Amino acid sequence: MTAEPLRLLIVGAHPDDAEFYSGGLAALYRQAGHLVKMVSFTNGDAGHFRLRGPELAARRKAEAEAAAAVIGATSEIHDLPDGQLQPTLENRWRMIRLLREFRPDLVLTHRPWDYHPDHRAVSQLVQDAAYMVTVPALVADVPHLPRDPVIAYLPDDFRKPCPFEPSVFVAVDEVVHQIVDMLHCHASQFYEWLPFNRGILDQVPAEEEERKAWLARQVLDRLERRADRYRDRIGPRVRYLEMFEACEYGAPLDDVAKARLFPPFAALS
């Protein structure tokens, strides 16, 4: 471990995004003694077919806190409505404050090309805050950062206008069950809302252990398919994979940064 713990900030649009897209890296960071904050820029108050508003927001906040506790990370939920996020100036200042207060070495967020408008808005806000976090005259009540953090994108499968191009591969075999444990905490999403939205609610088992096994099969299959897709680049030994794409707006994710931010649990690229 480095003399100073690394600081990983995962900025998602919704309370389960950080765990879904990068739970393995978060678990590996915590395992190595580094600091992890998982942020949702909305309160998730629209992500259900029965519940909504403050009742759902409170439930999702509790789920996010339980998921973060699985690995000893910090959870932060912003009180902005789900499905209505905009890259406004006010929200840019909010993002600048978040980055300055946590002082991350590495920031992960959605790509600007994504199916969900909240995902796209969060991505835009992170990009707009990059560089501005180093300008003392802006958001002057919070000390500026001396330099930009490295920023990288969470993975997706969208091809247009720009397909996801991984810059770093992370083997998550040793922590894959912690990913399942974290997602299991988000019961409102993985056992209720998402199955309803996909038309498979009747497939969700009633008993908790059966539900968790059902969820695990989906999670492991998704991560294994990712590894198989990049088998020629990662070699034969990795079964479960996460990957991230460098964003040009932060500090460069060059070989030196990769060795510092992803040792020794990545550097497969």
Q: What is the pLDDT of residue 268?
A: 52
Cα–Cα distance, 231 to 213 (Å, whole number): 26
Q: What is the pLDDT of residue 269?
A: 52
Mean pLDDT by runs of 10 across the 269 residues of the chain is 84 98 97 97 97 97 98 98 98 98 98 95 98 97 97 94 94 96 98 97 96 98 96 92 96 94 63
Cα–Cα distance, 38 to 16 (Å, whole number): 9
Task: Look up the pTM and report it.
Answer: 0.96
Q: What is the pLDDT of residue 266?
A: 53
Residue for token digits 């978060």? Answer: 26
Candidates 153, 173, 172; CA nearest to 163 is: 153
Where do the domains of the chain lie, and which CATH numbers do they carry?
Answer: 7-261 (3.40.50.10320)
Residue for token digits 């790509």? Answer: 111
Please, which residues bridge with residue 108 across strands? 10, 152
Strand-pair category, 168-171 with 241-246:
antiparallel
**Which residues lie below 8 Å from residue 207, measured CB to CB, with a gap of 6+?**
none
